[in-house]
Structures are given as C-alpha cells and as structure tokens.
Structure 1
C-alpha cells in the first residue's frame, strides 16, 4: 500500500542532537526528515549561515528535508502579527536553503471560551498576507489542522481551503489532532480529500486524547490510508510520534499529556514499525 509515498518524520522527537536523529533515520532506512528543530534550536530561529551548515551536514548524510515543521500561525490571533511575519520571512529563506518548497503552518490560536467565527476576518486577513508571500517566493504552505486554532475542525479547514487553496496553499492531514478535537476523521477526510498534499502519522483516543501509534487509536489511520492509496497518493507520510516527552514538547502543545515511553529513539521506532505494519 502507498508504494510511491515517502516516509519522513519529525526527527527532533528522536533526540535534540541532529547526529543522533540522522543515525536512527538511517538505521530505519528513512531518507527524509520534517525539519522542526535541530540541536535544540527551532528551525524558525536559525540564521542563514546556521541553515547552510546544517544543510551541508544533511547532504553529506544523504538526508533530504521533506518540509519545514515551522511554527508559523501558531500564535494567538490577538498577538501582534508583524514580528511573526518577519519570522515567517526567515522561515521561507531557510526552506530555500534546505531545498524544500514545503512549509507546515497553522491558522492561529483562538482565545479560550471564544467562538472562532468571531475572529474569522482577522484570521483570513493574516492568511492572505501569508499566502500572497508564499506565492511571491514560490513556496507551499501546508496548513495543519490543530486543536485550539481556527482550522481545528474539518469544517473550518474547508473554509480556509475554499478561500486560499491553490499551488501555494494546501493541506496537511493530521489524524490525532482531529481526534483530539472530537472530529470524526473519516468525515474529515471526505470533506478535505481534494486539498490533502501531506500526511502526519499519529493516532489518538477519543476518550482521553492520548496519542497512540498509528492504528491503535480512533483515527481510522489504516482505512484512510487505504483510501489515499486508491486515489494514487504519492506524497509524504510524516511520523510525528508524540509518544515520549522530548525537548520542545511544551512549546508545541498548550496542555501536553504525560507520555509513557521514556526514550525518543524507542518512541520513533515504535511509530515507524506501526506505520510499516499498516503499509504491508
């Protein structure tokens, strides 16, 4: 199944040290990584010089970058936008250095207990600026559904795609994030399948929100991957285990759940093996 899809992953969940990340990727036979952080530093904070040095190392190791796992759009909609846009401009430059057009992004945190629709105009205005710049710079923004942001449910993701979908704005489908929002992933897939260009592989339980290896939760991972296979999907399948605590986790989730696997290397390997079992 999905013989022409490429496995990649958030290798910073293996270890903060890029050399340890690369070692395990090579042991598992993975030639790509989704670059979110390396050596304990967010890719969005890298200078051009640092990025060039990292790219040189990855090229020497024959590891390619499938996408930048950027934090763009992962700020409150009430926060000032201009400083964040400058971070975004740097991320675009880093993507070029890493020779990937793909930049993972989000659609802004909504204040607790408030209706997302209240902020639709400002969300869309900011997204317009981001997408316009992506078009100008020839990169692709991959919007990830994520709990607590505007595009958390499939319905609001579709609103964004109805407005912005095109060569420079496409969708990342994350099973676990939909489950954690109480969203049926099969319904989400049917609504969004025309916009999906990238897949995050992690699963979760409706009852607790706990992340599980693919196929062990309520995300219907196998069933949806089978549908993608029939559609001829040839993109990336990106492992995002979230099975062990790792450096930077508290900055990625508002209220991260306690993880029950102590080793990042073990967690990533478990996630990889669970996916391979589904793909057989």
Structure 2
C-alpha cells in the first residue's frame, strides 16, 4: 500500500525568524508550516498587523499554514469558561488570516491533589464551549494529548472527544506525549482513537526517562503507527515537532541542525512503509 502525506513543521522549533524557519522547512521538503510563534511572539498574542505580516512572508515563499498551534487550554481549569473562549476568538482571527484549517488546543491543567474525575465536568464544559465557538467560525480544533492535562492517556482522550461529540473537535496524535504519560501509543491507543485522528505531530520519546528523540529512536511505536495510518487511508498532515534541544511551557526548540536530523529520521520511516511526503 502507498500513501501521500503533506509535510509540515513547527517553524519556531527552528528559529524565531520566519524567513529562517521557511529556509529549513523548504530544505527538508515541507510545503506547509505549523505556526506557534513568529518573531518571538506566540500566536495567542498576535494582532492583525503581525498576522498580515506573516501571511505576506508565507505567500512570497510559496508556503501555507497547516495549523495554528495555539496554547488554548494550557491553563488551569479553575479559570472562568470565558477566559479561554475569548483567547480562542483572537486565535481564530489568526487562523483566518493565515487560511489555516486547524487550531491546536489542550484540555486544561488542574491543581495539585486533584484527579481526572475531580475536574471532568469543568473540563467538558470548557471544551464544549470552545467547540461551539469553532463551529460558528468554521474551523476545526485539534486536541493534542499531553502530560498534565485532562486528555493525557488514550482512555482520557477518548472520554473527552466522545463526550464533547462535536465535529469541530478532532485529535492531533502525538506519540511522544503518550510515552511520557506511560502509555504505549499504538498498542494502547490506536484502536481507541483512530476514527477521531485528523492530524499527526511527529516526535518520539524514551519510556525510561521521557526524553524526546528523533522519530523511530524511542518507544513511541512510530513505525507501527505510521503503518496503521497508511493502511487506514490517512492523507493529511505530518507535522514535525522535534523538541530535540529542549521544551518549555508553550512548546519546544530544536534549532536548524536538529530539525534537519528529525526530518531525516521521519523520512526514513516513511520510506520504509512506502509513504510519500509532499
């Protein structure tokens, strides 16, 4: 079997300057960029002028945005519902300005001592509110599984997406993040979540210490996952998010050389299964 996936990547993993970001993305064969920040400013803080400026750069270089990688939902669930709803409205303006079809979101942190059951109702209330705003705006939210939020393990992600039950809330799949919460991504998660996955974020991690490594060099079952995506007829984005030089609250960094290493590792896996990156 064969498949063609559209290669993208988190530009700010490379450099703060979008021109440098696009230089490296073009070098590794990407046609799209996932926008988390530019010129050192996170998308949640973009104004219309900065959005227009970035759009002009992308147009001039022949690139398009695969998604806006927002930090929506990376806050404590105790904040009022409107807190993230209003931030999402601003991010939607960015997505519209960049013609990005997807906006990445998260499902809220909780205070120490609280478990998933303690915050479930509050999380679902907020995620439904975000999905309703996205529906009205004609964009799709991609929930990213990540440690420390409600939707961390495959079981919690499934509860979230099935309970909200909105076509405006789909999943971005991240193998490394599942490893970091003690799950086996493919073995534990694929059969539960495959029908809800609309986007692939590419990174891998070691189960022993959670360290992020190039695709195929960790315990993220990348080869099995990619094979399953191919066999399922997946034809969407594959977005490089290497995190090879460090991570912080709003994302991670790799630098140009490590980003090239991550891209080569991923292409080695797609070559093995006959998937084409365009």
**TM-score, normalised with respect to structure 2:** 0.93
Superposed, 1:192-211 pairs within 5 Å as 192-211=193-212
Aligned to 2:255: 264
Match of 2:250 in 1: 252
- 2:138 aligned with 1:147, yes or no? no
1:22 corresponds in structure 2 to 22
Work out whether residues 2 and 234 of structure 1, in 8 Å CA contact, stay in contact via their aligned partners in 2: no
My pick for the range that moved more, 270-279 or 105-114, is 105-114
Q: Which residue of 2 aligns with 1:217?
A: 218
CA deviation string 1:81-124 (max 9, x = no partner): 42332211000111011101200000001223321110111111
Unaligned runs of 5+ in 2: 272-278
Residue in structure 2 matched with residue 188 of structure 1 by the alignment: 189
Count of aligned positions: 270
Aligned to 1:66: 66
RMSD: 1.5
In the aligned structure 2, how far is the partner of 1:277 from the partner of 1:215? Answer: 9
Bigger Cα displacement from structure 2, 217-226 vs 157-166? 157-166
**Aligned position for 1:84:** 84
**Distance in 2, Cα, partners of 1:206 & 1:165:** 31
Query: Structure 1 residues 202 and 20 mapped into 2: Cα distance closer, same or farther (>3 Å)?
Result: same
- With over 3 angstroms needed to count, the CA separation of the structure-2 counterparts of 1:227 and 1:160, relative to structure 1, is same
Structure number with higher strand proportion: 2
Report the 3-state secondary structure (helix = DSSP H, G, I; strand = E; otherwise coil) of the residue aligned with 1:224: helix
Q: Secondary structure at the match of 1:152?
A: coil
Displacement of 1:239 in angstroms is: 0.5
Structure 2 residue 270 is matched with structure 1 residue 279:
yes
Give the structure 1 partner of residue 239 of structure 2.
238
Superposed displacement of residue 240, structure 1: 0.4
Q: Which structure 1 residue ranges, 4+ long, deviate > 6 Å from structure 2?
A: none
Determine the C-alpha separation between the residues in 2 that align with 1:31 and 1:3. Answer: 17
Q: How much does 1:2 deviate?
A: 5.7
TM-fit CA distance, 1:52: 1.1
Once residues 90 and 176 of structure 2 are traced to their aligned partners in structure 1, the CA distance between those partners, rounded to angstroms, is 29
User: Cα–Cα, structure 1 residues 125 and 3, in superposed 2: closer, same or farther, change >3 Å?
Assistant: same
SS in 2 for 1:54: helix
Which runs of structure 2 are paired with 1:1-150 in the superposition (5 Å)? 3-150=3-150
